[in-house]
Amino acid sequence: MSEITYLEAIREGLAEEMERDANVFCLGEDIGAYGGAFKVTEGLQSRFGEARVIDTPISEAGIIGAAAGAAHMGLRPVCEMQFIDFISCGYDMLTNYVATARYRAMLPCPMVVRGPSGGYVRGGPFHSQNPEAAFLHTPGLKIVYPATASDAKGLIKAAIRDEDCVLFFEHKYLYRRIKETMPEGDHITPIGKARTAREGKDVSIITYAATVWKSLEAAEQLEREDGLSVEVIDLRSLAPMDDDAIVATVRKTNRVLIVHEDTRTGGVAGEITARINELAFEWLDAPILRVTAADVPLPYSPPLEDYVLPQTNDIVKAVRRLAAY
C-alpha cells in the first residue's frame, strides 16, 4: 500500500464510513462540487450523490442546527466548518443545544463537526485559530485533534460511529506535509486514548496536534546536543482526556512540559496541570512548565507569527530549564 497524506486520510475515512453506513452524510459550505476549501471532500459528491454531500448556505449555526435535527432522526451527519475559526458562529447551537440534548430530552446527537484548524500557514487572525479550549469546558461534547495521518483516519471513523457529538479538529499545516501508510482493515483509533510518540526517561512533553512534531524535533535536538531522553505524549483526544497516560509519564520522568499552539491563558495546559497536581503531585521533581502561543490574536506578518507561535527552540529552552531544576 502507498502512503497518503493527513488530508487524504481524512477523506478516506469519510468515504469508508459513507460506504459502510447509508445514514452518514456530509454538509457544509462548498463541500460538494468544489470539494471544500482545502479539497478534503473532493470527489465525494460525485461518488455518493448530492443528497449525501450537501452544499449549504453560509451559516455555521444553520449547518450545526440542521445536523442536530438529522441526528435526532437517526442519521449521522458530518458538518464541515470552512475554517474552524467560524465554529464560534455555531457556539450557541453546540453548547446550549447539541451538548445538552441527550441530558435534557433523551435526544441522541451522533454527529461530527470538523474543520481546518491552526496556524504556521500565514493565515492571520481569522484563519489560524485553535478554539478547542472554548469547548473543553462544555460537558456533552467530545474533542479530538489528531497529529498523524493514521490517527486522522482512525479518529474520523471513530467520531462518526460515536453516539455523541464529536468536534474533530484537523490541523491545516499537517494536511499535505505528513504522509503515512494506513493500517490495513477497518482502522479505528479509540477516542480518549493517548499514544506515546517517543519514549524517554528524563523529561515528559505532553502535547497534541501540530506541536507533536515540534516536540519530536526538540526531543531529537536535546538528545543530540544534551544527551537528554525526552518522552513525547500525543494526547490525540482532549475530551475525554487520557488521565492514565498522563500519570504514567509523570511517574516515569518526574518532569513535565506541556506544549500547545492555542493561547496561554485558559488553555488546555492549565487543565492538564491541575490534573497532574490532583493525581500525581508527589511524583514531581520540578514545577510544570508550559510552552504555548502568546495571548494575542495571530498576526499576518510571517516574522510575528513565528514569534507568537510555539517553535522548536522554545521547547528546547523549556526542557533544558526543567532538566536543570
- Give tens-digit pLDDT for 30-86: 999 999 999 999 999 999 999 999 999 999 999 999 999 999 999 999 999 999 999
Eight-state DSSP code of residue 35: -
The Cα–Cα gap between 60 and 164 comes to: 19
Q: Which residue has the cell 441526528?
A: 71
- Enzyme catalytic residues: 127
* Cell numbers standing for residue 252: 516515569
Share of the chain above pLDDT 90, in %: 99
**Mean pLDDT score, 253-276:** 98
* Cell numbers standing for residue 227: 544527551
Q: Which residue has the cell 464541515?
A: 80
Counting runs of H as helices and runs of E as strands, what totals does the chain give?
A: 12, 14
Q: Confidence band (pLDDT; 50, 70, 90) for 281?
A: very high
pLDDT of 236 over the 80 cut? yes
**What is the per-residue pLDDT for 1?**
74
* Cell numbers standing for residue 240: 475525554
* Cell numbers standing for residue 267: 488553555
The Cα–Cα gap between 114 and 64 comes to: 11
- Give tens-digit pLDDT for 166-188: 999 999 999 999 999 999 999 99
**Mean pLDDT score, 107-113:** 96
| Alpha-carbon radius of gyration of the chain | 19
The Cα–Cα gap between 106 and 303 comes to: 50
Q: Which residue has the cell 531529537?
A: 220
Cα angle, residue 238 at apex, residues 179 and 104 outer, rounded to 5°: 130
**Mean pLDDT score, 231-245:** 98
Please indicate, yes or no, whether the overall pTM of this predicted structure exceeds 0.85: yes
The Cα–Cα gap between 167 and 103 comes to: 18
Amino acid at 221: Q
Q: Confidence band (pLDDT; 50, 70, 90) for 110?
A: very high
- Give tens-digit pLDDT for 124-167: 999 999 999 999 999 999 999 999 999 999 999 999 999 999 99
Q: Which residue has the cell 493525581?
A: 279
The Cα–Cα gap between 200 and 225 comes to: 15
